[in-house]
Structure 1
Amino acid sequence: MKKFIALALLLLPLGIQAQQAKPNVQVKGTLKNIKDTISIVYANYASNGKRVLDSANVVNGQYSFNIKISEPVRAQLTARNVANKKAKVIARNVASVFLEPGIITVASVDSFTNVSVKGSKAHSEFVKLQAALKPYDDKLEVLYQQYSAQVKNKNKEALDKIENAIDSLDALQREEVYGAYVKQNPNSPIALYALKNYTGYEVIASKVEPFFDLLPAAIKNSTAGIEFKAKIETAKLTDIGREALDFTQNDTLGVPVKLSSLRGKYLLVDFWASWCGPCRRENPNVVQVFNQFKDKGFHIIGVSLDQPNAKEKWMKAIHDDKLTWTHVSDLQFWNNEVAKLYGIQSIPQNLLLDPDGKIIAKNLRGEALGKKLEAIFSKEAKENAPKVNK
């Protein structure tokens, strides 16, 4: 259920910077009939490939931002009361607004999230897209609630079933809403946003690139367009059939391990982390598969995206989960050099390599990993069996 882990990416301090360039967007906000005390509004958005966090004081029910962007971007506006800094952010105090150059008015009535936006064609398109998404989001919300309940109950079987349902519905949503939107509206100011959501956190180049090619040159050549194209090119390097990109990273003892040094066996390159709940729940299955096939020519190298100064947590997770295979990490969280090399944006993810180091499968989880290896080794056993002359 990669969506849960991938969403954490949105909360990371991705190069938050101060505004220095000349603003070209003016956001004028008003608050009316709102019960919550709001004294400050934060705006979190991307500009030139980096996250930006701005703030504006609320005076007499009004606030304003002066922002510099080069292309339409989605901004998350969060309302807070500075007198109560410990208060949790609640859904009714968060709103998403699509910004573009010009003067944009944002009126919140009854609750901060109930916004009416004028002056942004991009936001108008965003509202249409949100309406198309609502039936799917409503069903997903029910599944998320069920998932939370089963986490408390520690019911792994139920969790697996719900995760599969979430993944299936999420995939359907991406195809029927985001994918359809890009096909029908390639010139929309939010077409690239829709394409990113269609893509998800695993870029499959052969599937995504045809959609990217539909976009006009202005979007392709934007900062976000160029970044997205780079992700497509990275994904091509890890397509099935390609030789896995070689890397070297230190193991738990600080000894460098080179990927190519592990050739000669079927090898699972497993991206995970001690803090990743879905990864830890998948580990018992991986352990079972490893123990079943390790003597037949199967090995695993775990690449951990654990955080700096978290080596003890990494080591403890390896010990607690009985992960008796090769482990490496630079303890740089999402900046892990191997993860960046392979374009990993969510975990768990994995790649299965053949003895020559070529990628033969990706993201095999649950029963799929065991079935794939069973097929491989059964075929090899038949091919290597002595032939009987009749």
Structure 2
Amino acid sequence: MKFITAVALLALMLTSCATKNTEFAIIKGQFTGEKEGREIHLCKVEHGKTNKVAVTTLGNDGRFGFAYAIQEPGLYVLNVVWDQALKTVKQDHNLKRVYLENGVELDVKISDGTYELMASNSSQNDCLAQWNAKVDTVFSYSHGFSYNVLDYTNFFPVLPEFVNAADAFKATINTGDKHFDDLMALMVNTDMQLSALQFIYTPRIKHPERKDYPEYYDFILNEGAPKDEQLLELANGADYLRLYTMYAVMSMPEKPARDEWDLVCLNLIQNDLLKGYFAISLLNKFRSYDSEYLSFREQVEPYMQNTYLSEELKTFEMGIRQFEKGAEAFDFAGKDVNGKEHKLTDYKGKLVYVDVWATWCGPCKAQIPALKELEKQFHGQPVEFLSISVDKPKDKQKWMDFVKENELKGVQLMADKAFDSDVAKAYGINAIPRFMLFDKDGKIVTIDAPRPSDDKINEFLKQYL
């Protein structure tokens, strides 16, 4: 990463005024809006997503600048962030896109959610700025669910107009740079198709049925299968891999089984390198270095076709090896409804089936009937059912009332700091419900066990009894 100070940037930009710049791409700009606590981040697009490479703060008048040495021409994104929280101030969907190579000089005007190219010596950026402006309206429908209440009755009637306008724009792309022109055409297609998919997979007041979908969704299904490696040069490339495969599988007359879903998605992608990137995005589904993970790795290893993918796979494996079957379990603790502390090691000599849940979690509560039935089936056998809540401390009474009112059995505990508690940190828990199994010696069997509602759970527990 290269972080360039405002002073150094100013000196470089002044120098570029006197002589033709060939060593850097230079962006100077004006930010309008609340300036206190704002930073501007320059993010490089690589591997289908953005990566921060330079940061500058705002002057008192809102002016800012970057001088950045470009190794290879490509897309970059300007993001406005809080200097402490390091997140976008307002979701603008990565539409402050620029195309940089050494010698490019841009003058831009931006706010939290807008981008305007004021001056440019680059035909590529002139073309890109026009498309940024055009697609912003589409994105306001499809990506703007966090600050508008539009539903499909608003979006579907105007979608054909947006598609026609995108096709018309695509016909005008002709900068003389073939690589850029091809990338730009792919960007137009991807922006439009991702917009349509993003719309149906985000929260709305009212959701359509399949019969309500415009014809464009059939076009996406038939023509949109990811196959062009240039997708990795787009900031939303990884998002498109994920949403297209989800949509294609959801459109199948017969849905695959849960444990086959990922590989079905993988096979929908028509390029082996892109399959590798999609496979990497699935790694966070695995918690343990076990037979399930090893089977997955065996199937995706042929697609790890560059150093980035191989290193990502290696780094992930180093992280989960600590949860390998047979490793010593982390001894977490929690308190029951009477305030008594219980530790995992208190139950050595028994299998311990752990449920990490919360009273606010719908999928967690949906597992309770099956969990109660499982407890009945294994009553009197050396297996302990231990549930630990990650409700916030302020909701302790709510948790206690829920336990009593629903007559929850087994060992009912509450963690001390919700998702900041030891059990969540030790086992990488950032989503619930999570079920784990520990053997009679207090060692890990798996930190991602089958759910009580899973048909496999009975045989799974019997295997370790």
Q: Does 1:56 align with 2:113?
A: yes
User: What are the equivalent positions in structure 2 for 1:1-390 lying under 5 Å apart?
Assistant: 19-24=39-44, 25-26=75-76, 42-43=92-93, 55-57=112-114, 79=140, 87-88=148-149, 90=151, 92=155, 113=196, 121-122=231-232, 123=234, 134-139=247-252, 168-178=256-266, 185-186=272-273, 188=274, 191-197=276-282, 200=285, 202=287, 204-210=292-298, 211=300, 214-221=304-311, 225=312, 229-330=314-415, 332-360=417-445, 362-366=449-453, 367-373=455-461
Q: How big is the shift at 1:350?
A: 1.6
Match of 1:387 in 2: none
Shift of 1:283: 1.1
Q: CA deviation at 1:254?
A: 4.5
For residue 136 of structure 1, report the CA deviation from its aligned partner: 0.9
Task: Indicate if the aligned counterparts of 2:336 and 2:342 stay in contact, CA closer than 8 A.
Answer: yes
Q: Is 2:357–2:388's contact at 8 Å kept on the other side of the alignment?
A: yes
How far apart are 1:317 and its partner, in Å?
2.8
8 Å CA contact 1:309, 1:331 repeated in 2: no
Change in CA separation of 1:89 and 1:191 when aligned onto 2, cut-off 3 Å: farther
Question: Could you tell me how far 1:268 is from its partner in structure 2?
Answer: 0.9
Secondary structure, aligned partner of 2:408: coil
Distance 1:19 1:231, change over 3 A: farther
How far does residue 374 in structure 1 lie from its aligned partner after superposition? Answer: 5.6
What amino acid does structure 1 have at the position aligned with 2:140?
A
> Any unmatched runs of 5+ in structure 1?
1-16, 29-39, 46-53, 66-76, 95-101, 143-164, 378-390
Going from structure 1 to structure 2, the CA distance change for 1:85 and 1:290 (only over 3 Å counts) comes to: closer
Per-residue CA deviations over 1:350-385 (Å, capped at 9, x if unaligned) read 2233321234462242354345556766xxxxxxxx
Mean alpha-carbon deviation: is it higher for 279-288 or for 241-250?
A: 241-250
Aligned-partner Cα distance in 2 for 1:244–1:322: 29
> What secondary structure is seen at the aligned counterpart in 2 of 1:309?
helix
**Deviations 1:10-45 (Å, cap 9, x if unpaired)?**
xxxxxxx965444445459xxxxxxxxxxx862279
Flag the 1:332–1:294 CA change in 2: closer, same or farther, 3 A. same
Measure the CA separation in 2 of the matches of 1:18 and 1:208: 43
**Aligned residue type for 1:216:** N
Letter in 1 for 2:365: R
- Contact map agreement 1:205 1:232 (CA 8 A) in 2: no
Deviation at 1:198, TM superposition (A): 6.5
Contact 1:353 1:359 in 2 (8 A): yes
Count of matched residue pairs:
290
Matched position secondary structure for 1:270: strand
In 2, distance between residues paired with 1:325 and 1:198? 32
Deviations 1:316-370 (A, max 9, x none): 3322332233233335444443123223344323223332123446224235434
> C-alpha displacement at 1:79, in angstroms?
1.9
Aligned counterparts of 1:234 and 1:254: Cα–Cα separation in 2? 34
Retained in 1: the 8 A contact 2:354–2:437? yes
- The TM-score, its normalising length taken from structure 1, stands at 0.56
Seq. identity, %: 18
Kindly tell me: are residues 370 and 130 of structure 1, through their superposed partners in 2, closer, same or farther at Cα, counting changes over 3 Å?
Answer: closer
Change (3 A) 1:267 1:19: same
Give me the whole-angstrom Cα distance separating, in 1, the residues matched to 2:151 and 2:287: 30
- Give a deviation string over 1:110-139, Cα, whole Å, max 9, x none: 9964899x9963249665776565431224
**TM-score between both structures, scaled by the size of structure 2:** 0.48
Distance (Å, rounded) in 2 between the aligned partners of 1:296 and 1:319: 24
Report the Cα distance in structure 1 between the residues aligned to 2:115 and 2:197, rounded to whole angstroms: 17
- Which whole-Å deviations, capped at 9, do the CAs of 1:268-298 have from their partners, x for residues lacking one? 1112221222221221222233244343322
Change (3 A) 1:23 1:250: same
Deviations 1:222-257 (A, max 9, x none): xxx3xx655433433334444433223444455443
Secondary structure of 1:275's match? Answer: coil
Structure 1 counterpart SS, 2:320: helix
Write out per-residue CA displacement over residues 148-199 of structure 1, whole angstroms, 9 at most, x where no aligned residue. Answer: xxxxxxxxxxxxxxxxx96x445433113326859x624x4x8334422376
1:27 & 1:106 partners in 2: Cα distance?
Answer: 16
Check whether the contact 1:266–1:352 (CA below 8 A) recurs between aligned residues.
yes
Q: Is the 8 A contact 1:41 1:63 kept in 2?
A: no
